[in-house]
Amino acid sequence: MKFRSFIRPLAIAAGLVLVLGLALLGRLTLNTPLYLIERGGQTQPLALQFVPKQATVVASVLVRPDRLASLWDYLAAPRLRQETHRDQELIEQALLANTGLSYSRDIQPWLGEEVTAALVTPDIDQDATNGTTPGYLVALPCNDSTAAQAALELYWQNRAIAGDALTFEDFSGSRLIYARRGAQQFSGDDTAQLATTLVANRYVLAANHPDVLRQALTAAQSSDLNLQSDRRYKTALKELPQSRVGLLALNLPALNHWLHPELGETVSFAQLGATDDEVGWGLMSWRLTRQGLVGHTALLAAQGHRLHPQRATAGWEAIAPYLPDSLGVTAVGSDLAFLSRRLKPLLALVGPSSSGFTPLTQPIDRALGSGAADLLQSGIDRAYGVGLATSGTNSPDWVVVAPQSLALSEALERLNDLAREQGLGTGSLDLRGTPAIAWTRLTLPKTRGLQPLQVVAEVAGLHAKVDQYEVLAASPTTLDAVIHPSVEPRQHPTWWPQVAQLPGPSTGYVHLDWSQVQAGLVAQLPQWRLWGAAAQPALKHLRQITLVSGDRSDAIQTGSILVQLSNQ
Q: Nearest 5 degrees, angle CA 403-CA 406-CA 409?
A: 80
How many separate helices (H) and strands (E) can be counted in the chain? 16, 20
The string of DSSP codes covering 143-168 is S-HHHHHHHHHHHHHHHHHTT--EEE
State mean pLDDT over 177-198. Answer: 67
Read off the pLDDT of each residue in 403-411 and give the average, rounded to a whole number: 95
Is pLDDT above 90 for 212?
yes
Residue bearing the bigger pLDDT, 258 or 248: 248
Q: CA geometry: angle at 144 spanning 41 and 29, to 5°?
A: 30
CA angle 523, 529, 532 (to 5 degrees): 105
For the stretch 219-228, pLDDT in tens is: 999 989 999 9
pTM: 0.83
- Residue 348 neighbours by CB under 8 Å, 6+ apart: 252, 256, 269, 272, 354
Amino acid of residue 546: T
Question: pLDDT band at residue 568, thresholds of 50, 70 and 90?
Answer: low
Would you state the pLDDT for residue 210? 95
What average pLDDT does range 206-226 have in this prediction? 94
Q: So what's the pLDDT on residue 172?
A: 93
In angstroms, the CA 181 to CA 179 distance is 6
- Identify the band that residue 112 occupies on the pLDDT scale cut at 50, 70 and 90: very high
Tell me how far apart the alpha carbons of residues 98 and 252 are, in angstroms, rounded to a whole number. 31
Across residues 60-85, what is the average pLDDT? 89
- Which of the four pLDDT bands, split at 50, 70 and 90, describes residue 526? low
For residue 425, give the 3-state DSSP assignment: strand
Return the SS3 of 218: helix
Is the model's pLDDT at 205 over the cut of 70?
A: yes
Of 375 and 309, more confident: 375
pLDDT above 50: residue 515: yes
What's the whole-number average pLDDT of the chain? 82
Tell me, what amino acid is at 349? L
Q: Pick the residue with more confidence: 505 or 108?
A: 108
The rounded percent of the chain whose pLDDT value lies above 70 is: 81
